[in-house]
Structure 1
Amino acid sequence: MNQQQIKIGISSCVLGERVRFDSGHKISKFVTKELSPYFEFISVCPEVGAGMPVPRPTIRLMSNEDRIELVETKDVTKEHTQAVVDYSKSKIAQLEQELLCGYIVCAKSPTCGMERVKVYRKDGATNVGVGLYTKELMTQMPWLPVEEDGRLNDPLLKENFITRVYTLKDFYSSMGEAPTRGKIVAFHSRYKLTLMAHHPSSYKQLGKLVANVKDYDIDDFYRLYREGLMKAMAHRASRKNNTNVLMHLQGYFKRELDKQQKQELRQVIDDYRVGLLPLLAPLTLIKHYLTAHPDAYLAEQAFLQPYPQELRLRYGL
């Protein structure tokens, strides 16, 4: 997989571009230093794209009866709602053709915030809004992994987002020029353990869906499977689910390992289960046994290495 082809949309200010209302930025060192070797960023600033200048008056979301408006803070009669919505629809339609694999948005922004954006009312403000651009993004591309810059400081949220990005990239790469039933069945086979770890009920639902792939138009099925896959992956893999998958993996070695090796693997999995060891510990041992006792099905499971190990995301899980 060519990592530089992994396209990620991003709020321009998070990349360090000086496009904010005060000509400043909100650069993320995690993004620019740790992620930039792996991703090709596509920078978007909805305010600038909609024609607003830099610097510019501050803006906010305001609730006006059943409508959310984007207005200037000091003069609410100056509204930018339609300009931003029109730009958002056009830009996102363009981005959909790019096969984006993820999007990093600027937290709390009235255009880009993903959650808890302030919405002002006559009697105060509530933290219930979504930025106008990001709302359109998640409506038009519901399968796309979207995360806020600040939330990527949380190791669990960060690992889940990166896993989703690489899953979607792998899906697109596996489909090649055009999806086929065979390609989707092969992809699903490689992601069975991953889905078991993230959301067991979705694993069962997607399994039933794939079993009936012949009953669908392939393009309809492609869209249906993609959305179900990414919805499942949005659930963070829990320690309990990961432990179940590890025990499932353990079963593949019951004939190959001697008594001492079996005991060692059981102990490492149990130490992970109770929080004494990170997920990396049992996975490293399983990979070691897989090298000594090859198994074609296990070797291709994405669960064993969902993204480049150089990202070091499983050390703290």
Structure 2
Amino acid sequence: MTTPITIGVSSCLFGKRVRYDGGHKHDRYITDTLGAFFRFLPVCPEVECGLPVPRESMRLEEKEGTVRLVTTKSCIDHTERMRRWCAEKVAELAAEDLCGFIFKKGSPSSGLFGVKVHRPGMKAKRGRGLFAEAVTSRFPLLPVEEAERLRDPELRESFIVRVLAYRRWKELVAGGTTPGRLEAFHTVHRLLLMAHSPEHCRELGRLAARANGVPPEELFARYEALFMKALARRATVRKHTHVLQQLAGCLGKRLTPEERAEVAGVIGEYHDRHVPLVVPVTLLRDYARKCGEEQLLGQLYLTPTPTELLLKHV
């Protein structure tokens, strides 16, 4: 049985009544849709560091150049309590084999982007919740996102692609860090990488090709950092169209004139946003199978994320 892919998630998004007012922010997409494919590890920094439910609300404040976690009315400073807990928690999470984390927007502990940091007599600046900061500092390559941003189809697809890729990378490393395994890994990911960042794909290809000249630990560390950076780049319609045309060119004369016209037409429809990406990908996969193109069929680009998670448009 395949080991489930583990993703951390803010407990309130999982339906747990842990918010300061005793409520939750249950996100049905996370539990009902993503929950069919991933194992979730709920985390609530405030409750787990020892604060009660309900409790006074808190906010981030900048004092003497440092960011503090302070209650909004009584001005009790919980910064050190939270930081101690964060240090212990990220150490625990290192053993959980996390492949991603979904945070709660705006939270002074778990907000990932644009959390208000109040400053006396000045306009608030934007920062990151203390726990979210601890997680991203300890696991800089871990795919992370906010639940609210997952409503954007492109951001959602990007997150899922990175989570699944990160899992495959972990499996590669667990199986042995040999140059041959890295080169094979790069080969099957090449078109997927091209759809995100052609520049990084070429650099990764050069790195994998000269693998024998670099110590394995250094080689794999460099490849991993660049690999995840590449997939963090947005996959655009233009870049996808280029990859699809490459695939069509590989099939070339093995297709009849009518089939080549069909493929070109479907790619054009995708380029003009009349059909989703899954349509040309499925057509090209079917023709690759018909032509016995095993090398193309080995490309992960032709076997995307589970159908239930695919977007209508990229």
Question: 1:31 maps to which residue?
Answer: 30
Q: Distance in 2 between matches of 1:5 and 1:293?
A: 34
Look up the equivalent residue of 1:144 and give its one-letter code: L
How many percent identity over aligned positions?
A: 38
Question: 1:97 maps to which residue?
Answer: 95
Residue correspondence of structure 1 range 106-117 to structure 2 within 5 A = 106-117=104-115
Q: Secondary structure at the match of 1:254?
A: helix
Residue correspondence of structure 1 range 46-195 to structure 2 within 5 A = 46-76=45-75, 78-195=76-193
Q: Distance in 1 between matches of 2:17 and 2:176?
A: 40
Q: Distance in 2 between matches of 1:35 and 1:123?
A: 43
- Residue deviations 1:212-231 (CA, integer Å, cap 9, x gap): 22233222322222221111
Give ranges in structure 2 of 5+ residues lacking alignment.
Answer: none
Q: Distance in 1 between matches of 2:67 and 2:246?
A: 49
| Offset at residue 303 of structure 1 (A) | 1.0
Q: Distance in 2 between matches of 1:71 and 1:32?
A: 31
Q: Secondary structure at the match of 1:115?
A: coil
Look up the equivalent residue of 1:108 and give its one-letter code: G
Contact 2:288 2:294 in 1 (8 A): no
Task: Output the TM-score relative to the length of structure 1.
Answer: 0.95
State the number of aligned residues: 314
Contact 2:273 2:313 in 1 (8 A): no
Contact 1:175 1:183 in 2 (8 A): no
- Residue deviations 1:266-303 (CA, integer Å, cap 9, x gap): 11111111222211111121011012112122111111
Residue correspondence of structure 1 range 304-315 to structure 2 within 5 A = 304-311=302-309, 313-315=310-312
Contact 2:116 2:126 in 1 (8 A): yes
Q: Distance in 1 between matches of 2:239 and 2:15?
A: 38
Contact 1:112 1:131 in 2 (8 A): yes
Between 1:51-60 and 1:144-153, the stretch displaced more is 51-60
1:284 aligned to which of 282, 285, 297: 282
Q: Secondary structure at the match of 2:62?
A: strand
Contact 2:7 2:102 in 1 (8 A): yes
Q: Distance in 1 between matches of 2:122 and 2:28?
A: 34
| Offset at residue 163 of structure 1 (A) | 0.8
Given the alignment of the two structures, is residue 43 of structure 1 paired with residue 42 of structure 2, yes or no?
yes
| Offset at residue 193 of structure 1 (A) | 0.3
Question: 1:202 maps to which residue?
Answer: 200
CA RMSD of aligned residues (A): 1.5
| Offset at residue 124 of structure 1 (A) | 5.0
| Offset at residue 109 of structure 1 (A) | 0.3
Between 1:281-290 and 1:211-220, the stretch displaced more is 211-220
Question: 1:272 maps to which residue?
Answer: 270
| Offset at residue 205 of structure 1 (A) | 1.6
Look up the equivalent residue of 2:19 and give its one-letter code: R
Give ranges in structure 1 of 5+ residues lacking alignment.
Answer: none
Look up the equivalent residue of 1:316 and give its one-letter code: H
- Residue deviations 1:136-165 (CA, integer Å, cap 9, x gap): 111111111100010111111111111111
Structure 1 residue ranges (4+ consecutive) displaced by more than 6 angstroms after TM superposition: none
Q: Distance in 1 between matches of 2:74 and 2:49?
A: 19
Question: 1:316 maps to which residue?
Answer: 313
Q: Distance in 2 between matches of 1:269 and 1:242?
A: 9
